[in-house]
Amino acid sequence: MNKKYIRLTILLAVVACLFSFMSGQVRLFVIGDSISIFYGPYLKQYVEGKYEYDRKRDKGEAMEDLDNPIGANGGDSRMVVEYLKKLSANRSFHTDVLLVNCGLHDVKTHPITGDKQISLEEYRHNLDTIYRLSQEMKAKLVWVNCTPVNDSIHNGKGVAFHRYNRDVQCYNAVADSLFFSKGVPIIDMYSFSLRFPLDAYIDHVHYSAKYRKLQAAYIAGFLESLK
């Protein structure tokens, strides 16, 4: 057999192994609310070649009622903690980067009593637990803070609960402070999405496809810079 052909074959095999190794080493797992479900397909496309994308999944149940988090919808911080505990206990689960967001369900406010679904104190505690679980899983945690809410749009659409942007800002501030102190990279989705026009919303809180693509590109660019 031609020696050049043998060398070329070996070289191609080595390159293929290297690509396989690299692909197997950079695994990205996403846990987030319905905002992340919507930008997820674009994010998967944009990180292809560098990250092996996966997320909390289902068979479509999450899309039946986006305000009632089930399936792929990560829900509030309490739900994320419970899900991460299950992943942590699952010896077959491994990821390198854990991209997490929660908060929009936490700030849900009862229109009469004003009670939050998750208090600010519990929110901080849950985020601290999320960090601890990511450490136990030996995964690099990346935090995505919450997108803004327009009070008049959100609370004028007959939704059974209210959200207020002042609460989003407050919960984001707690999350950003906590994760900054622990050296966790923070993707500022709030400031990025705040620049969108009001017609970017298709309902009380979700964005049209054009803006989902922009959010995905923003996250992909951030992930590209991770070391």
| pLDDT confidence of residue 56 | 87
Q: Can you say how many angstroms the Cα of residue 77 is from the centroid of all Cα atoms in its chain?
A: 12
3-state secondary structure of 59: coil
pLDDT tier, 158 (very low <50, low <70, confident <90, very high otherwise): confident
Residue 155, domain extent: 26-224
Q: What pLDDT, on a 0 to 100 scale, did the predictor assign at position 82?
A: 97
| pLDDT tens by residue, 91-146 | 999 999 999 999 999 999 999 999 999 999 999 999 999 999 999 999 999 999 99
Mean pLDDT of 36-56: 96
Which pLDDT score, from 0 to 100, does residue 8 have?
Answer: 44
CB of 130 closer than 8 Å to CB of 99: no
Could you tell me if residue 18 is inside a domain? no
Element (H, E) at 141: strand 140-144
Tell me whether residue 67 is in a domain: yes
* Per-residue pLDDT at 58 exceeds 90: no
Q: Other CB atoms closer than 10 Å to residue 130's CB: what's the count? A: 25
Question: Does 51 map to a domain?
Answer: yes
Given this model, what pLDDT does residue 166 score?
99
> Does 2 reside within a domain?
no
Q: Tell me if 9 is assigned to some domain.
A: no
The CATH number of residue 208's host domain is 3.40.50.1110
Residue 183 belongs to a domain: yes
In a domain, 10, yes or no: no
Establish how many alpha carbons lie within 13 A of residue 27's alpha carbon, considering only the half-sphere containing its beta carbon. 14
Look up residue 189 and give its DSSP letter: H
Average pLDDT, the chain: 88
Q: Tell me the average pLDDT across 57-74.
A: 69
Residue 156 in any domain: the answer is yes
pLDDT at residue 5, as a whole number? 38
Q: How many domains, in total, are found in the chain?
A: 1
Confidence tier at 18 by pLDDT (50, 70, 90): very low
